[in-house]
Amino acid sequence: MAEQRSNHTLTRTTLTVRACVIRDGTPGISLSMGRDVIGEWTDSRARTLSLTDDGKVAIQEADGERLYLFSVPGKLLSGEQVSDTEVTITFELGA
């Protein structure tokens, strides 16, 4: 049987998630890759972030109550809790 080779290349990406004042001046969530903001949304209740054991970002109210989870596609390589309002996630995507 002939061996098949994959034509897929893997792209390593680091995403930064922040609970902050976004560009329109409202509190919300900002997603960036390097210096480029790739997405943001208003959420006046979002105050803190935490990295879960399985590599998701928990977006929480000021009292710590979880509002929702944010996750990335692909294979999670690492995550870092930078501060209570910033988390970075490094992952691989197949192209």
- Say what the pLDDT of residue 94 is: 78
- Grade residue 93 by pLDDT with cuts at 50, 70 and 90: confident
- Say what the pLDDT of residue 5 is: 54
Classify residue 68: in a domain, yes or no.
yes
The boundaries of the domain holding residue 65 are 10-94
Angle (nearest 5°) at CA 54 between 41 and 27 = 20
Classify residue 4: in a domain, yes or no.
no
Distances (CA, A) of 28 to 34, 71, 76, 94: 19, 17, 24, 30
- Grade residue 10 by pLDDT with cuts at 50, 70 and 90: confident
- Say what the pLDDT of residue 95 is: 61
Structure confidence by residue, pLDDT tens digits, 34-81? 999 999 999 999 999 999 999 999 999 999 999 999 999 889 999 999
Decide: 79 and 73 in contact? Cβ < 8 Å.
Answer: no
Classify residue 1: in a domain, yes or no.
no
Helices (H) and strands (E) in the chain, counts: 0, 8
Classify residue 2: in a domain, yes or no.
no
Classify residue 89: in a domain, yes or no.
yes
Number of domains in the chain: 1
- Say what the pLDDT of residue 9 is: 82
Kindly tell me if the per-residue pLDDT of 1 is higher than 60.
no
Classify residue 17: in a domain, yes or no.
yes
